[in-house]
Chains A and B, each alone.
Chain A
Amino acid sequence: MVAFHLKTTALALAFAAGMATQGMAAEPTLDLVGPLSEYKLYVAENTAQLVTDTEAFVAAIKAGDVEKAKSLFAPTRMSYERIEPIAELFSDLDGAIDARADDYEKAEADEAFTGFHRIEYALWVESSTDPVQGYADQLLTDVKALDARINELTFPPEVVVGGAAALMEEVAATKISGEEDRYSRTDLWDFDANFAGSEKIYDLLKPLIAEKDPAFVTKTDANFKAVDDVLAKYRKDGGYVSYVELTDADRTVLSTRVNTLAEDLSTLRGMLGLN
């Protein structure tokens, strides 16, 4: 099937001419149309899920149910983390929804610190939903706005293709240390979502690169699998154990795989002829 697909496309010609090697990029191709529209569907599903999950999460906060809200925190974030490269295109909303205390000079005490992590702080550190009633309302409004804006968006191909690596850069730069979900220690849920989001993009593009660069595909498949093998050790009850349980050795494995994936996936845009 992959072979047939390639045979019928301009990209196949480019490949045949030996242009899509690591050293030389291919011309942009109409072939991206299929993967792009599939990715758009994937994102739409995730933002719809995000709205639904956030409604339940916010309802628990409005009801003052700290325990319920805690149990919904990590799963609710997953659909956001899977599509972060797209969500980040709207920096105002991304900041309001997902910024961390250290993005602000006054950290947790900063008025501008809102969204998931402000609520996380309330649930795990302040042990109360009282301080975040307003933030909860705002979160739901922001998430709905994000859903609406994304649905109207024409996805820039370079953002989608580059998103596979961008998600790995996120993990490498801000998550491997366990600083993302520092109050709840639910970082492994985020990892899972970031990897899933990256792998989704990679899987959609794989048919376009499989024939020309089988070594790339073998290596990248193996790296995603290595990540999954590590994460599998920490899965529990449909979710993940606390980040503090991650051993140093496993953190090293994750870190090397993340960096190698970032390194390799950073060539995807060029391989597919995108600037």
Chain B
Amino acid sequence: MGQSDRDTGPSRRRVLIGLGAGVAGAFAQEAAADAPMVNDAPHGDAQTAAQSVPFHGPHQAGITTPRPAAGIMVAFDLAITGPEDLDRMLRLLTERAEFLTQGGPVPERDPRLPPADSGLLGPVVAPDNQTITVALGDALFERFDWLRPLKPAHLQRMVQFPNDALVAGQCHGDMTIQFCANLQDTNIHALRDIMKNLSEFLVIRWMQQGDVPPVPPAPDGSTPSARNFFGFRDGSANPDSNDAALMDRIVWVGAEEPAWARGGSYQAVRLIRNFVERWDRTPLGEQERDFGRRKMSGAPLDGGPHATERDVPDYARDPEGKITPLDAHIRLANPRRPETEKNLILRRAFNYSNGVTKNGQLDQGLLFICYQADLDAGFIAVQNRLNGEKMEEYLKPFGGGYFFALPGVAGPGDYLGSGLIAAARSL
């Protein structure tokens, strides 16, 4: 159903009712017809549906662009044998991604054939802030002689950290696609489109869907961070993604990488279960000490009663951790010392809820995603500092992997990974 169908729905109803009731009763009937009906669709927003993120540029969208409410991370295994296959796949993927992120009418076919599109978004695909971010895994580079020499310098297979309980089927993969959009249906539409059009190349290995709850603006007009499933604001101290120079330093890879990779970024994905029942039975003070922040405001613990989540903690004045414990999550993750500047990462996580475990507990957690210019100095260094943190009692990482998000598509005619293909062909 398109926008126009939705618009004509109530008026058509009005006309029909009007015909039945006669002129005298028509006015009252009309009022009744305007009252919401049980099966009226929840009101969408034409303005947010029309939002689109530019597809072309030096970097892929979906990394430093604002994180919309819905995300899906999908890892694929690829059935390719040589550079020609990879080339065909990447070109086709680029074509689909460009259409899906920019929107447009879906082609019509003879009704005796399966339709070209799933139809989830109607005859005209609205961009709805869709981004499609493609990253390649260590497994892919390692499998082929013609790719191995081109592997980004820090790309590696994710290994088990002490608190992990990795599930083989939920780890690694040849490629990930991160889908982000205002509505989860938009992501699902894109995923189904890509699976349909690229079925000869890819099989899903694992996937995880997640959400960010929309948050109303604060009284001062600023946008507060959304809460994760521990009830804490998540993202407060994230580096400023509008600071291009900062992003060049901490997110986008540079000269130390193979030329084809410049403008790309390392993607670390972790599927981290949260033991929420246990967390909800933990005293508030302990919860706040575990994170190093106030639960309601998100402010650092060393702030006063009016402190906000944007305030910066001053650990130098608290060397023994009397206010912010030395093993608090934020203090371990970012000790804020000059020598830990190089460990900054850009986090872009989603909350997930997967139903219930065999034990009758809620299966909820964080689809943790972060981007960095150097995987070793970024995610791996930060996670190594976090090993043994207090919060581990409430966390169980069980999946994910390390990938390399390809550089952007420069413009029409270019395609995702074109530099990699050219490099592979000239080896």
* Given A255-B203, A256-B200, A256-B203, A25 contacting B112 (CB threshold 8 A): yes
Interface flag for B99 (CB, 8 Å): no
Residues on the A chain within 8 Å of B202, using CB? 256
Docked Cα-Cα span, A222 to B100, in Å, equals 29
Q: Whose C-beta in chain A lies nearest to the C-beta of B195? A: A259
The smallest beta-carbon distance between B207 and chain A, in angstroms, is: 15
Question: What's the dominant secondary structure at chain B's contact region?
Answer: loop
Q: A269 and B112: CB pair below 8 A?
A: yes
Complexed CA–CA distance, A25 and B199 (Å):
23
Q: Select which of A248, A260, A271, A274 is within 8 A of B200 by beta carbon.
A: A260
B203: A residues at CB distance < 8 A: 252, 255-256, 259
A267 within 8 A of B: yes
B30 → A minimal CB distance (Å): 42
A253: interface (CB < 8 Å): yes
Q: Cα distance A24–B203 when bound, in Å?
A: 29
A252-B77, A252-B78, A253-B79 known; A23-B200 Cβ under 8 A: no
A157 within 8 A of B: no
Find residues 233-275 in chain A having any chain B CB closer than 8 Å to their own CB. 248, 252-253, 255-257, 259-260, 262-263, 266-267, 269-271, 273-275
Query: In this assembly, does A71 line the interface, its C-beta being within 8 Å of a C-beta of chain B?
Result: no
Quick check: is B114 within 8 A (CB to CB) of the other chain?
yes
A141 within 8 A of B: no
The chain A residue with its CB closest to the CB of B200 is A260
CB distance from B79 to the nearest CB of A (A): 4
- Give the Cβ gap from B192 to chain A, nearest Cβ, in Å: 12
> What are the residues of chain B within 8 A of A269 when measuring CB–CB?
112
| B110 at interface by CB-CB < 8 Å | yes
Among A22, A259, A267, A270, which residue has its beta carbon within 8 angstroms of that of B199?
A259
Known: A23-B109, A256-B203; 7 extra A-B contacts, CB below 8 A, are: A252-B203, A253-B79, A256-B199, A256-B201, A259-B195, A267-B113, A274-B112
7 example contacts (A-B, Cβ-Cβ < 8 A) are as follows: A23-B109, A25-B112, A223-B200, A255-B203, A259-B195, A267-B114, A274-B112
Contacts of A23 in B (CB 8 A): 107, 109-110, 113
What's the least CB distance linking B65 to chain A, in Å? 31
Q: In the complex, A255→B79 CA distance in Å? A: 9
| B196 adjacent to chain A (CB < 8 Å) | yes
Chain A residue numbers with a CB within 8 Å of B113 are 22-23, 25, 267, 270-271
Contact pick for A270, options B112, B195, B196, CB 8 Å: B112
Contacts of A266 on B, CB cut-off 8 Å?
114
Q: Are B110 and A260 in contact (CB under 8 A)?
A: no
Contact A273 B200 (CB under 8 A): no
Which residues of B, 20-67, contact A by the 8 Å Cβ criterion? none
Assembled-state Cα–Cα distance A24/B202 (Å): 28
For residue A25, which residues in chain B have a CB less than 8 angstroms away from its CB?
110, 112-113
- Residues 182-197 of B at the A interface (beta carbon under 8 Å): 195-196
CB distance from A19 to the nearest CB of B (A): 9
* Minimum Cβ distance to chain A for residue B367 (Å): 24
A residues near B78, Cβ cutoff 8 Å: 252
Minimal beta-carbon separation of B51 from chain A (angstroms)? 31
Q: Are A252 and B112 in contact (CB under 8 A)?
A: no
- Could you tell me the distance between the alpha carbons of A255 and B198 in the complex, rounded to whole angstroms? 12
Cα–Cα, bound, A252→B175 (Å): 13
> Please, which residue of chain A has its CB at the minimum distance from the CB of B108?
A23
A271: chain B residues at CB < 8 Å are 113
How distant is the Cα of A255 from the Cα of B112 in the complex, in angstroms? 26
A134 to B309, CA, bound (A): 71
Kindly identify, within residues 262 to 316 of chain B, every residue whose CB is under 8 Å from any CB belonging to chain A.
none
Do the beta carbons of A270 and B200 come within 8 Å of each other?
A: no
B205 closest partner in A (C-beta)? A252
Q: Using Cβ atoms and an 8 Å threshold, which residues of chain A touch B107?
A: 23
A222 to B31, CA, bound (A): 63
Check A263 against B112 for contact (C-beta < 8 Å).
no
Docked Cα-Cα span, A192 to B205, in Å, equals 24
- Give Cα A25 to B110, complex, Å: 6
Q: Take A23-B109, A263-B196, A263-B199 as given contacts and tell me if A256 and B79 are in contact as well, using a CB distance cutoff of 8 Å.
A: yes
Closest CB-CB distance, A225 to chain B, in whole Å? 13
In the bound complex, residues from chain A placing their C-beta under 8 Å from that of B196 are 263
Q: For B107, give the chain A residue with the smallest CB separation.
A: A23
What is the distance, in angstroms, from A20's C-beta to the closest C-beta of chain B?
A: 10
Inter-chain CA distance A275–B110, complex, in Å, is 10
Give bound CA distance, A252 to B113, whole Å.
27
Establish whether residues A252 and B79, one from each chain, have CB atoms under 8 Å apart when the complex forms: yes
Q: Which residues of the partner chain B approach A260 to less than 8 Å between Cβ atoms?
A: 199-200
Q: Which residue of B has the minimal Cβ distance to A21?
A: B110
B88 to nearest A CB, angstroms? Answer: 12
Q: Please, which residues of chain B bring their CB within 8 A of the CB of A256? A: 79, 199-203
Q: Which residues of A contact B201 (CB under 8 A)?
A: 256
Q: With A and B bound together, what is the CA distance between A72 and B114 in angstroms?
A: 40
Within 8 A of A (CB), among B75-128: 77-79, 107, 109-110, 112-114
Q: Beta-carbon contacts of B361-395 to A below 8 Å, as 1s and 0s?
A: 00000000000000000000000000000000000
Chain B residues contacting A267 (CB-CB under 8 Å) are 113-114
Question: Using Cβ atoms and an 8 Å threshold, which residues of chain B touch A248?
Answer: 77
In Å, the complex CA distance between A23 and B114 comes to 10
Chain B residues with CB under 8 A of A273: 112
Which of A248, A255, A269 gathers the greatest number of chain B CB atoms within 10 Å?
A255
Closest chain B residue to A272, Cβ basis = B112
| Contact residues of B between 170 and 224, Cβ < 8 Å to A | 195-196, 199-203
A266 CA to B114 CA, complexed, in Å: 7
Complex formed: what's the CA distance from A253 to B109 in Å?
Answer: 29
- Within the complex, the shortest CB–CB distance from B172 to chain A, in Å, comes to 11
Complex CA distance for A24 and B111, rounded to whole angstroms? 8
The residue in chain A whose Cβ has the minimal distance to the Cβ of B196 is: A263
Question: CA A260 – CA B78 in complex, angstroms?
Answer: 13
- Shortest CB-to-CB span from B76 to chain A, Å, is 9
Bound-state CA distance A255–B200 (Å) is 9
